[in-house]
Amino acid sequence: MSLQDLLDQERSHKTAMGKAFLCDRVVFRGKDLHQELGDKDWFSLYLFSITGKEYTIDEIKMLNYIWLCTSYPDPSIWPNHVTELAGNSRSTPSLSLMSGMAISEASIYGRRPDRRAISFLQSTNKAVKEGAELGEILLAELKKYRVVYGYGRPLARIDERILHTVKKAKELGFADGEHFQLALEVYRYLRKNKRLSMNVAALDAALCADMGMTPEQYQLFMTPCFIAGMVPCFIDGITKPEGSVFAMRCESIKYSGVEKRSW
Amino acid sequence: MNNSFGYKTKIWFEEPESDNPFAARKSYCHGYDVYGDILSKATWFEYLYLLFKGEKPSPRQAKLLETLALALTNLGPREPSVRAAMNGGVGGATHAASLMSALSVGAGQCGGGHEVYILMSLWETCGLDLGLWLQKLHDPVEDKREDIWKPMEHAPGFDPNGVSCPTPVKQTLSALARYDENGCLSFLEETREQLEASTGIPLSMTGVAAAAFHALELDAHSATMLFLILRLPGAAAHAIEQRHLGWKHFPFYGAHIELTEDAAHFELPNAEELGL
């Protein structure tokens, strides 16, 4: 960016995304928030904020299910654990939930695998359509990165969400989507040849790819998806005696560093 | 004793008080008694170095870390992470929220933590080889997979919007080079103009900070964390100041926002009809 660009930016901030004309109206991606978008449910508005697109009722049901089915109110799950610790340390609701949401942008679960899963399915779908052999793509991916995002799951042998999600996708008519079918084909190949299971990230990514989301849009969509599971953990933490949850005595620290020494 | 959920660590261990297994009588960091020994003998920067590296720093290393911390302590109220904290402070947000906003904005790859992270891997690869630097700066991230981080839009360590290397950057580089035992900062000082000619943009504070972290033999994770931590004091002070000054003295950008895609115009509901 040139100095002139900065000087121009200093004068005004041009945007098509929206503006609040306080005391008058609010424009939200080209529509009047209260008059044109006022009958939407919040979830639909959130999707509109990301893609600028309107979704059908069944698409909204499917996308809503993606969030719902991964809302686990269990404080052993890392983002929830943080939320419960925050509540029990008597932090605030917003700080607790935002810290849980922030650490959901993780590498072994959450947003980075989400993003890579949708990208992988999109690029693989394109390559297969152009004549590439799926098995060769998968073996190359495993050889290079040792992982196919959306397949395999830390801590668990199977992903219970898979069955529910496939059932819901069939009910709502999304099971025939090309990325969805590809995700299942990848699963069958990896189960047979590499004994790898599938986790719900593959199916969620496939469903959103079939609805035309880019990886960026998909990550934005998925960002709050754990939050309904975090709230009960916060409540649990805040209602238990302060400083009491997951108590750990000094001797529970498993130390393997250097011996005692003097400064 | 139930330790089935205990954390594994090479950093820290504790001995409990005799009357309470959950209260530490003594805490040890990399083997040193923190409250019985370190507290009275070490400086904060010696302790910081120990915490991240596992060993005491040499006097020059401690001085290098302290000098870097001084340079990063406050980048002023125009710096995006500091502005973020100020936006928290002016509205009376929680103190943690102001710092969280500073961390989030200051985490990015345009002058932020992730730029330092990328630079640390470049230092690992290029070391003091100018030829490699000139090559790698134009394509600094080898892993091209889709990621939460965007591809770099400029040569890391350089200011994409800069014209010439700002005086404080040169002053910091020069001050740090005095304590550098590995030659990284001297190398950067000597090659700066060649690197700037190649990238077309001037050296930035992230570039200097990463060189200092590499000189301190810190890994990419430690360097990034420390870079984020060491910039927080300025964010905090400015957030507190704006909290006290109040929102009437804080710029509100409403008139600055120019909408390029307007909506159809509608009348507001009639207040009288609504009994308001």
ipTM score here? 0.94
Asked if the structure places residue B61 within a domain, the reply is yes
Whether residues B23 and B65 share a domain: the answer is no
Asked if the structure places residue B239 within a domain, the reply is no
Q: Tokens 């003097």, residue?
A: A262
- β-pair type (A31-32, B257-259): unpaired
CB A119 to CB B145 under 8 A? yes
Question: What are the tens digits of pLDDT across the range A208-232?
Answer: 999 999 999 999 999 999 999 999 9
Q: Does any CB of chain A come closer than 8 Å to the CB of residue B270?
A: no
Within 8 A by CB and 6+ apart from B176, the residues are B64, B67, B68, B71, B185, B208, B211, B212, B215
Asked if the structure places residue B130 within a domain, the reply is yes
Question: What are the tens digits of pLDDT across the range B243-255?
Answer: 999 999 999 999 9
So what's the pLDDT on residue A159? 85
- What string of pLDDT tens digits covers the 276 residues of chain B? 456 789 999 999 999 999 999 999 999 999 999 999 999 999 999 999 999 999 999 999 999 999 999 999 999 999 999 999 999 999 999 999 999 999 999 999 999 999 999 999 999 999 999 999 999 999 999 999 999 999 999 999 999 999 999 999 999 999 999 999 889 999 999 999 999 999 999 999 999 999 999 999 999 999 999 999 999 999 999 999 999 999 999 999 999 999 999 999 999 999 999 999
Q: What is the CATH number of the domain that holds A134?
A: 1.10.230.10
Give which of A255, A258, A259, A261 to mutate to test B binding, by max B Cβ within 10 Å.
Answer: A255
B259 interaction partners in chain A (CB closer than 8 Å): 15-16, 18-19, 27
Asked if the structure places residue A62 within a domain, the reply is no
Cβ burial of A77 (10 Å; 0-12, 13-18, 19+) is buried
Under the banding of pLDDT at 50, 70 and 90, the label for residue A155 is low
Q: Does any CB of chain A come closer than 8 Å to the CB of residue B144?
A: no
**DSSP annotation string for A154-175:** TT-SS-THHHHHHHHHHHHT-T
Residue B81: closest CA among B110, B117, B118, B53: B110
Query: In the Cβ-directed half-sphere of A186, how many Cα atoms lie within 13 Å?
Result: 30
B12 interaction partners in chain A (CB closer than 8 Å): 253, 255, 257
A84 interaction partners in chain B (CB closer than 8 Å): none
Residue B166 φ/ψ, nearest 5 degrees: -65, 150
Whether residues B20 and B120 share a domain: the answer is no
Tell which B residues from 11 to 70 touch A, by Cβ distance under 8 Å.
11-16, 21-24, 28, 30-33, 37-38, 41-42, 54, 56
B5 interaction partners in chain A (CB closer than 8 Å): 246, 248, 252
Give the chain A residue nearest B38 (alpha carbons): A263
Provide the residue range defining the domain that includes A147.
Answer: 111-221
Q: Does any CB of chain B come closer than 8 Å to the CB of residue A256?
A: yes
Taking residues A157-185, what's their average pLDDT?
A: 95
Q: Are A202 and A179 in contact (CB under 8 A)?
A: no
Whether residues B32 and B52 share a domain: the answer is no
Q: How many residues does chain B have?
A: 276
CA distance linking residue A165 with residue A36, whole number of Å: 32
Mean pLDDT score across all residues of chain A: 95
Whether residues B115 and B22 share a domain: the answer is no
Tokens encoding A85? 């610790």
Give which of A249, A254, A258 to mutate to test B binding, by max B Cβ within 10 Å.
Answer: A249
Provide the residue range defining the domain that includes B24.
Answer: 12-41
Mean pLDDT score across all residues of chain B: 97
Question: What are the tens digits of pLDDT across the range A27-80?
Answer: 999 999 999 999 999 999 999 999 999 999 999 999 999 999 999 999 999 999
Q: Does any CB of chain B come closer than 8 Å to the CB of residue A219?
A: yes
Q: Is the pLDDT of residue A119 over 80?
A: yes
CB A30 to CB B54 under 8 A? no
So what's the pLDDT on residue A152? 82
CA distance linking residue B108 with residue B78, whole number of Å: 16
Q: Are A14 and B260 in contact (CB under 8 A)?
A: yes
Within 8 A by CB and 6+ apart from A31, the residues are A37, B263
Whether residues B32 and B56 share a domain: the answer is no
Under the banding of pLDDT at 50, 70 and 90, the label for residue A207 is very high
CA distance linking residue A37 with residue A20, whole number of Å: 14
Q: Tokens 């799951």, residue?
A: A153
Whether residues B68 and B17 share a domain: the answer is no
CA distance linking residue B232 with residue A177, whole number of Å: 48
Whether residues B52 and B161 share a domain: the answer is yes
- Total tally of structural domains belonging to chain B: 2
Among B42, B148, B160, the residue with its CB nearest the CB of A115 is B148
- Total tally of structural domains belonging to chain A: 1
Whether residues B37 and B111 share a domain: the answer is no
Q: Are A55 and A172 in contact (CB under 8 A)?
A: no
So what's the pLDDT on residue B1? 47
So what's the pLDDT on residue B173? 98
Q: Does any CB of chain B come closer than 8 Å to the CB of residue A161?
A: no
